[in-house]
Amino acid sequence: MRGGGWLEGVLSTYIRKDGLDATSKLVDMVKGSKHYGQIRVAMLSGVTMGGFNVVDMEELYRYTGIPVISVIRRPPDMDSIRRALENLSEPGQRLEAMLRAGDAIELSSRRGKPVYVQYKGLDADIALSIVRSSSLHSRLPEPLRVAHLIATGIILGDSRP
Amino acid sequence: MRGGGWLEGVLSTYIRKDGLDATSKLVDMVKGSKHYGQIRVAMLSGVTMGGFNVVDMEELYRYTGIPVISVIRRPPDMDSIRRALENLSEPGQRLEAMLRAGDAIELSSRRGKPVYVQYKGLDADIALSIVRSSSLHSRLPEPLRVAHLIATGIILGDSRP
């Protein structure tokens, strides 16, 4: 998307549920896209997707050269995450990838409740100002709100807010 | 979408390639959505989808109560359509549904090339003004441009303009 404005393209890929391939699949998806040269920032709704397939934000930044921002509505609950990881292969590798995302900064939003921001490849003040200026219609930046509507609309038939 | 502005929801459904179920599936999808009460106009990129599964705009309007506008970039070539229909079941039913969409009005766009508009359930001048005011970033109204990006992005992995 162009900031909080209009949609320019949609990318999609497949990852394994509870797998270890989220980072490499995202790197390939972004670098293989015709939009690659134009993308200034990549945004994530948290670093876990498809169950506990963890995106390593540091690797994603390093291999794409594109700064990465993750925005979530609740601070990560590391205790319950540690417990959940015990039931999966490679718990140490997953936990390390999660920790490499860094501390989440609480950012108050104009809508009352705050969001929590992690970032790689750019300064904190720039990351926060990007989140703030792209959050137009909800607490979340437009690219994340729209990606969520698309994903739920395709999978469930009717999108969920 | 809210006019040419922001995305409020995404709906999806499945139809049969070259089938006869496009109209009923769209009616069910729209009436079953939590957005049903808010939708003021439905837009189509032409009346054929999934090969030659024809949407009957008159039925779509009658069963949903929502006015329908179709916008295409080229006037329909009825001769080649008639030929293509010969290879399918129920060619008469498909042709009648296509003809019920009515004549396409040529609308000049600010971007040079015109678009062609068919409509049911509203006046021509209102249909044309809706198309004009929602076409912000291409010749096509934003809801159709965005739907096309989503569909190609999900199916092909990278959207096509």
Q: Does A157 touch chain B (CB under 8 A)?
A: yes
Contact residues on chain B for A134, CB-CB shorter than 8 A: none
The runs of H, that is alpha helices, within B3-161 are: 22-31, 57-64, 78-85, 91-100, 124-134, 142-156
Spans of chain B, pLDDT less than 70: none
Q: Does B11 touch chain A (CB under 8 A)?
A: yes
How many CB atoms are closer than 10 A to CB B29? 18
Contact residues on chain B for A33, CB-CB shorter than 8 A: 158
Is the pLDDT at A110 greater than 90, yes or no?
no
- Structure-token pair, residue A72: 């979530």
pTM of the prediction?
0.94
Chain A residue whose CA is closest to B13 = A157
ipTM: 0.92
Nearest by CB: A158 against B6, B11, B137: B11
Whether the CB-CB separation of B149 and B159 falls below 8 Å is answered with yes
**The predicted structure's pLDDT at residue A95:** 95
* A115-120 and B42-44 strand pairing: unpaired
**The predicted structure's pLDDT at residue B112:** 80
Looking at CA atoms only, how far is residue A15 from chain B in angstroms? Answer: 13
Q: Does A152 touch chain B (CB under 8 A)?
A: yes
Instruction: Say which residue, A100 or A111, is predicted with more confidence.
Output: A100
Best to test chain B binding among A1, A2, A8, A10 (most B CBs inside 10 Å) = A10
Nearest by CB: B158 against A7, A33, A159: A33
**The predicted structure's pLDDT at residue B25:** 98
Nearest 10 degrees: Cα torsion B49, B122, A146, A116: -160
Looking at CA atoms only, how far is residue A142 from chain B in angstroms? Answer: 9
**The predicted structure's pLDDT at residue A130:** 97
Mean pLDDT in residue range A85-98: 95
Is the pLDDT at A33 greater than 90, yes or no?
yes
